[in-house]
């Protein structure tokens, strides 16, 4: 997987986009490699957290337009082509439906398609001086990887419209203020801060994390009453709970 690096440390996997010479811009091969890495991690029961990041000065600058040009892709509908759409949406679904806690760690530029991928994470943390933008409208594209549905759920509908209509570039600090990111950190502290958060998550019950993700998904996709009913009626297999309770009780004695 030449476009991706996968590093596993205890219960934490970091999947890094590795096309720094193109600011980690998305190609079909990158998407295929990324999907393989995500599927590998999702099947590993020893991993509880995925950190998605980018090598170099960017998280991901969006689709590599050179590939679209080289392939003579028909973009007349405003999308980047069926193949890219299919594989990108597969990647995003694999991240969103992962039983692991997924963190997007945005160290630098995160534009358009890169932002669409980042939005699939459960948690987003950014460097203060990172640059984020939805630039579809600059070139006449429209989102086809879910941004129109995910962005307003993070920042409100009006803010999403402003970001998309103006294609303005915002900083990591603005992303935090808008609710697009949970926290922003100085760039030199981003890795350590995100790793610290990941470690806090990784020590918790993996099956609890899996259950929470399913329940929060029900919240996102339903009204309050139906969400409460789903929570009350859902059952999950969390075999480690007894051992964890006993260990906790021992500490109290």
Per-residue pLDDT of the chain (253 residues; tens, 9 = 90+): 689 999 999 999 999 999 999 999 999 999 999 999 999 999 999 999 999 999 999 999 999 988 888 888 888 888 888 899 999 999 999 999 999 999 999 999 999 999 999 999 999 999 999 999 999 999 888 899 999 989 999 999 999 999 999 999 999 999 999 999 999 999 999 999 999 999 999 999 999 999 999 999 988 887 767 766 776 787 778 788 678 777 867 887 7
Please report, for the chain, the start and end positions of each structural domain, with discontinuous segments joined by +: 4-202, 206-252
pTM: 0.90
CA distance 153 to 156: 6
Helix 157-166 vs helix 147-155: crossing angle, to nearest 10 = 120
Sheet holding 49-54, edge to edge: 4-9, 12-17, 49-54, 101-106, 123-127, 183-185
- 4-202 fold: 2-enoyl-CoA Hydratase; Chain A, domain 1 (3.90.226)
The tally of CA atoms less than 13 A away on the side-chain side of residue 200 is 7
> How many CB atoms neighbour CB 152 within 10 A?
16
């Amino acid at each position: 997987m030449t476009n991706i690096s996968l590093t596993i440390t205890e219960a934490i996997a970091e999947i890094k986009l590795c096309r720094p010479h193109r600011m980690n811009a998305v190609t079909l091969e990158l998407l295929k490699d990324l999907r393989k890495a995500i599927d590998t991690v999702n099947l590993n029961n020893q991993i509880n957290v995925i950190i998605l990041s980018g090598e170099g000065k960017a998280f991901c600058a969006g689709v590599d337009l050179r590939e679209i040009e080289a392939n003579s892709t028909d973009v007349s509908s405003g999308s980047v082509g069926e193949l890219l759409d299919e594989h990108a949406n597969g990647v995003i679904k694999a991240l969103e439906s992962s039983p692991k806690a997924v963190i997007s760690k945005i160290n630098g530029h995160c534009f358009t398609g890169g932002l669409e991928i980042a939005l699939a994470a459960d948690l987003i943390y950014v460097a203060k001086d990172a640059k984020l933008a939805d630039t579809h409208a600059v070139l006449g594209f429209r989102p086809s990887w879910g941004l129109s549905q995910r962005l307003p759920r993070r920042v409100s509908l009006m803010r999403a419209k402003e970001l998309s209509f103006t294609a303005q570039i915002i900083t990591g600090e603005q992303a935090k203020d808008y609710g697009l990111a949970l926290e922003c950190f100085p760039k030199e502290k981003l890795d350590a801060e995100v790793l610290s958060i990941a470690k806090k998550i990784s020590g918790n019950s993996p099956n609890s994390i899996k259950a929470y993700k399913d329940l929060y998904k029900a919240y996102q996709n339903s009204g309050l009453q139906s969400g409460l009913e789903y929570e009350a009626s859902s059952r999950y297999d969390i075999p480690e709970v007894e051992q964890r309770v006993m260990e906790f009780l021992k500490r109290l004695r």
